[in-house]
Structure 1
Amino acid sequence: MTTTTREEACAAVPVPASLSGELAGYQWMRDHVGESGGEVYRLHGKPGAPDLFLKTGRDLSADDLANEMVRLRWLAGYLPVPDVRHFVGSPDDAWLLMTALPGKTACQVLQANPDAGLAVVDALAEFLRQLHAIPIGACPFNADHAYRLAHARMRIDAGLVEEDDFDEEREGWTAEQVWEAMNRLLPLSPDPVVTHGDFSLDNLLMLDGRVVGCIDVGRAGIADRYQDLAILWNCLGEFDALLQERLLARYGIACADQRRLQFHLLLDELF
Structure 2
Amino acid sequence: MTRHAAPPLPPTPGREKSARPPTLPPSLTARLDGARWRRNLVGEAGAAVYRITRDGAPDLYLKHGRGQAAAALVDELARLRWLAAQMPVGMPVHFECSGNQAWLLTRAIPGRTAYEWLQHHPSRAPDIVAALAQALARLHALPAALCPFQSPLEQRLAQAHERLAAGLIDADDFDDARRGWTPQDVWDALQRLRPRTVDAVVTHGDYSLDNLLLDDELRLTGLIDVGRLGVADRYQDLAILWNCLGEFGAAAQRALFPAYGIARPDHRRLDFYLCLDECF
TM-score by length of 2: 0.91
Would the aligned equivalents of 2:194 and 2:269 in 1 still touch at CA under 8 Å?
no
Task: Identify if the C-alpha distance between structure 1 residues 24 and 62 changes in structure 2 by more than 3 Å, giving closer, same or farther.
Answer: same
1:202 aligns with 2:210: yes
Contact 1:34–1:216 (8 Å) recurs in 2: no
Aligned residues: 269
Q: 1:222 aligns with which of 216, 231, 239?
A: 231
Q: Does 1:190 align with 2:198?
A: yes
Query: Tell me, what secondary structure is at the counterpart of 2:24?
Result: coil
1:96: how far off? 1.1
TM-aligned CA deviation for residue 159 of structure 1: 4.3
The answer to whether residue 62 in structure 2 is matched with residue 62 in structure 1 is no
1:94 aligns with 2:102: yes
More off after superposition, 62-71 vs 10-19: 10-19
Matches within 5 A, 1:165-176: 165-176=173-184
Give the counterpart of 1:104 among 112, 122, 126.
112
For 1:166 and 1:251, the matched residues in 2 are separated by: 26
Identical pairs, percent: 53
1:151 Cα deviation (Å)? 2.4
1:231 corresponds, among 240, 244, 263, to 240
2:17–2:40 Cα contact (<8 Å) kept:
yes
**1: distance between equivalents of 2:166 and 2:61?**
28
Change beyond 3 A, Cα 1:170–1:15: same
Moved more, 241-250 or 177-186: 177-186
Q: Which digits, 9 at most, give the CA deviation of each residue in 1:200-248, with x for residues without a partner?
A: 0000000021111110000001000001100001111110111111110
Structure 1 position 258, deviation (Å)? 1.2
What is the deviation of 1:91? 4.8
In terms of mean alpha carbon deviation, does 150-159 or 240-249 score higher? 150-159
The residue identity in structure 1 corresponding to 2:236 is Q
Distance across 1 between alignment mates of 2:125 and 2:246: 12
Deviation of 1:150 after TM superposition, in Å, equals 2.1
**1:82 matched to which residue of 2?**
90
Q: Which moved more, 1:188-197 or 1:198-207?
A: 188-197
Cα displacement (A) at 1:184: 1.9
Q: CA offsets, 1:31-84, max 9 Å, x none?
A: 12121122111111x112211111112222112111111000100010000111
Q: Please state if 1:21 is matched with 2:37.
A: no
Distance 1:149 1:20 in 2: 41
Contact in 2 for aligned 1:85/1:99 (Cα 8 Å)? yes
Q: How does 1:248-263 map to 2 (within 5 A)?
A: 248-263=257-272
1:11 Cα deviation (Å)? 1.5
